Amino acid sequence: MSAQQLNLDTIANNLANSSTTGFRQLRLQFQDMLYQNMVTPGAAQSENTVSAGLQIGLGTKSAATEVINTQGSLNETDNEYDLAIEGNGFFQIQRPDGTTAYTRAGQFHLNGEGTMVTTDGDTLIPTITVPSNATKVTITEYGVVNATISGQTTGSQLGQIQLATFPNAGGLENIGSNLMQQTTSSGDAITGNPGGAEGLGTLQQGYLENSNVDVVTEFVQMVLAQRAYESNSKVIKAADEMYSQVNTMAQ
C-alpha cells in the first residue's frame, strides 16, 4: 500500500506538470522484496526427489523513479528568443552558485545587459549577448545566433548555442525550476553544436517544447494504482477476519 501511495504521488506530479514547458514524465519502478523460504528450492525431499521449494513473498517496494525522455510536441509562440530542441540534448544553464544545470525549457529572454537568460535570470551557456541596437535576431537550427544591427547592411554573428547530452539521460536529477543536474548515474555531459556528430537534436526558433506527459495515460495509471491500493487493503481486512475467526475457535 505504501508503494502504491508513492506511485499516486508520482502520477499526481506528472499531471500537475502536464502544462510545464519541457517537463519530462516520471515513472515509478517497483521491486519485489525478500522471500521467506519455508522449503528451500532444490532441497532433497527423499533419495530421488528434489523440492520445488516453498517461498512466501514479503511484498513490494519502490525502487527508483525513471525519467521518460520522449519528445514532447512543439508549440509555436513566434517569440524570437523561445527555443525548442527537436531531438536529443539539453540547454546548459549557469546557476547563481556557478554550477551548470540542464533543461529542455527554452523560454529565454534578455536581461538588462542584453544577455540571454532563463525566466529565473540564469545565464544560457555559452553566453549570448544581443546589442541594444539589434533590430532582429535569428537562430538557425544548428544554433548559430545572428542579428541585424541598426545602421549596418550586413548581419552580425553573435555566438553559437551548444547543447549537452549524457550517456544515461534518465539518470539526471530534477532540482526544480525546470532544471536538472548531472549525477554519477547520468555520466558526464557531452557538449556539441545542435545537429552535430554527437547525435544532438536541432533548434527551432519561435517554438517551445510541451511536456511529454500524456494526461489520458496518467489517468489510466491513476485508476490502476487506486485499484491496487484497494485490493491490498482488502487483503489486510480478509487476513484480519481470518485471524479473528481462529481466535474465536481457540476460545
- pLDDT value for 48: 66
Question: What is the three-state SS of the chain?
Answer: CHHHHHHHHHHHHHHHCCCCCCCCCEEEEEEECCEEEEECCCCECCCCCECCCEEEECCEEEEEEEECCCCCCEEECCCCCEEEEECCCEEEEECCCCCEEEECCCECEECCCCEEECCCCCEEECCCECCCCEEEEEECCCCEEEEEECCCCCCEEEEECCEEECCCHHHCEEEECCEEECCCCCCCCEEECCCCCCCCCEEEECEEECCCCCHHHHHHHHHHHHHHHHHHHHHHHHHHHHHHHHHHHHC
Rounded mean pLDDT for each run of 10 residues along the chain, 251 residues in total: 90 93 90 78 67 77 84 91 93 94 94 92 93 89 90 82 92 90 91 86 94 94 91 86 78 60
d(CA 96, CA 161): 20
- pLDDT value for 78: 85
Amino acid at 161: I
Least Cα distance to 209 among 93, 104, 62 occurs for 104
- pLDDT value for 33: 76
Residue whose cell numbers read 548555442 = 161
pTM summary value: 0.80
d(CA 160, CA 143): 6
Domains of the chain by residue range: 2-38+55-68+213-250, 74-209
d(CA 184, CA 188): 8
